[in-house]
Amino acid sequence: MIVVMKPGCADGDIDRIIERAHRLGLREHLSVGDERTIIGLIGDVHRVDVGAIEALPGVERVLRVGHPFKLASRAFHPEDTVVAVNGHSIGGERLAIIAGPCAVESEAGYLEAARLVKQAGADFLRGGAFKPRTSPYSFQGLRREGLRILARAREETGLPVVTEVMSPEDIPAVTEVADVLQVGARNMQNFALLAELGGCGKPVLLKRGLAASIEEWLMAAEYILANGNPRVILCERGIRTFEGYTRNTLDLSAVALAKTLTHLPVVADPSHGTGRADLVPRMCRAAVAAGSDGIMVEVHPNPAEALSDGPQSIRPDAFAELVATLRPLAAVVGRSL
């Protein structure tokens, strides 16, 4: 971290920075020029509040040399992290295929969908019991009953379950059933939830916020890591842009870039990323080509009747076809399926 002092600042201003640095366990390297003094702060600067230093008298600017995230960074952990999930894994050579309806709507409907996606090649089931909906009048999910159905589907198919947790008080109940707890885009900066998930003992799939920068997304992951949970999977699910033809803009450059910035697995969700079932298969293939460690796809046996996200849900037969086309593609990019 570099602290650029104002020209002609007082000696006391420099001493104050050095004193502060020592209190934070850092060392300093002073570079005294004709006009300005520059102070290099050396050590674990992740805990330093840039704004607080910048507010000190005599300081012109503070520059961070590295990234503000530490545990999530590739510099800290050069090898890819492979998250183990109950006999399966996310982040290794094999692509993770996470599929299922947006929400758990009924026992019979969910079990049918679960069987169909398994048959088609999914290795994780998805489905929300707790649904974050823009309108309070929309279907909010079956909640505890939804969790019971997910547990049944997990037992019947043998597939691990990925499901959303919306608030800290639901973590114990969701943890009992889920193999991976999903943090939805709207909760990406719910810091109380993230911190609590640090102690849940299960992997967490962290969706990128609707308007979150890549750095904010990685800082959200850092919350979970810093609170004791090393099993974090990132999920790019599209961001808000000016474009109206798609629900969101699936940012595949974020997938490619995140893979360079972090060792954590990164998957893509073209269902929410586009909002359009017709685009989902092509964008899944694009995500794999971009280096995604897996895909999350909404699949519904009857999308026209879905209680949420029908327009972006593909049918089981289209999903089976998608998985078949991903196989040769995976091999081209050095992955397997």
Q: Which residues contact Mn ion by CB under 5 A?
A: 102, 309
**Considering the rule CB under 6 A, would residue 237 count as an interface residue with ligand PEP?**
yes
**Considering the rule CB under 6 A, would residue 128 count as an interface residue with ligand PEP?**
yes
**Considering the rule CB under 6 A, would residue 102 count as an interface residue with ligand PEP?**
yes
Among 58, 91, 109, 184, interactor with ligand PEP by CB under 6 A: 184
For residues 239 to 278, the per-residue mask of contacts with ligand PEP, x marking binding by CB under 6 A and - elsewhere, is ---------------------------------x------
**Considering the rule CB under 6 A, would residue 25 count as an interface residue with ligand PEP?**
no
Q: Kindly state the smallest distance separating residue 269's Cβ from Mn ion, in Å.
A: 9
**Burial letters 161-196, b for 16+ CB under 10 A, else e:** bbbbbbeeebbeebbebbbbbbbbbebbbbeebbbb
Q: Which helix (H) or strand (E) holds 34?
A: none
Please give the span between the terminal C-alpha atoms of the chain, in angstroms, as a whole number: 43
What is the rounded CA–CA span in Å between residue 276 and residue 255?
Answer: 20
Q: Kindly state the smallest distance separating residue 306's Cβ from ligand PEP, in Å.
A: 11
Q: Kindly state the smallest distance separating residue 99's Cβ from Mn ion, in Å.
A: 12
Q: Kindly state the smallest distance separating residue 207's Cβ from ligand PEP, in Å.
A: 4
Tell me, by CB under 6 A, how many residues bind ligand PEP.
9
Give the residue with the Cβ less far from ligand PEP, 164 or 222: 164
Give the residue with the Cβ less far from Mn ion, 138 or 213: 138
Q: Kindly state the smallest distance separating residue 50's Cβ from ligand PEP, in Å.
A: 30
What is the rounded CA–CA span in Å between residue 337 and residue 330?
Answer: 7
Among 7, 57, 66, 132, interactor with ligand PEP by CB under 6 A: 132
Selected range binding ligand PEP among 54-62, 184-192, 193-201, 325-333, rule: CB under 6 A: 184-192
What is the rounded CA–CA span in Å between residue 319 and residue 322?
Answer: 5
Q: Kindly state the smallest distance separating residue 96's Cβ from ligand PEP, in Å.
A: 15
Q: How many CA atoms are closer than 13 Å to the CA of 329, on its beta-carbon side?
A: 20
Please work out, in degrees rounded to the nearest 5, the angle formed at the alpha carbon of residue 205 by the alpha carbons of 256 and 83: 80
What is the rounded CA–CA span in Å between residue 57 and residue 223?
Answer: 31
Taking the mean position of all CA atoms in its chain, how far away is CA 37?
40
**Considering the rule CB under 6 A, would residue 207 count as an interface residue with ligand PEP?**
yes
**Considering the rule CB under 6 A, would residue 185 count as an interface residue with ligand PEP?**
yes
Counting other chains too, the contacts that 170-175 makes at CB distance below 8 Å and 24 or more residues apart are 170/130, 171/196, 171/197, 171/200, 173/144, 173/147, 174/129, 174/130, 174/147, 175/200, 175/201, 175/202
3-state class of 321 per DSSP?
Answer: helix
Q: Kindly state the smallest distance separating residue 6's Cβ from ligand PEP, in Å.
A: 45
Which residue, among 279, 284, 293, has the nearest Cα to 120 in the 3D structure?
284
Selected range binding ligand PEP among 34-42, 47-55, 182-190, 280-288, rule: CB under 6 A: 182-190
Binding site for ligand PEP (CB under 6 A): 102, 128, 132, 184-186, 207, 237, 272
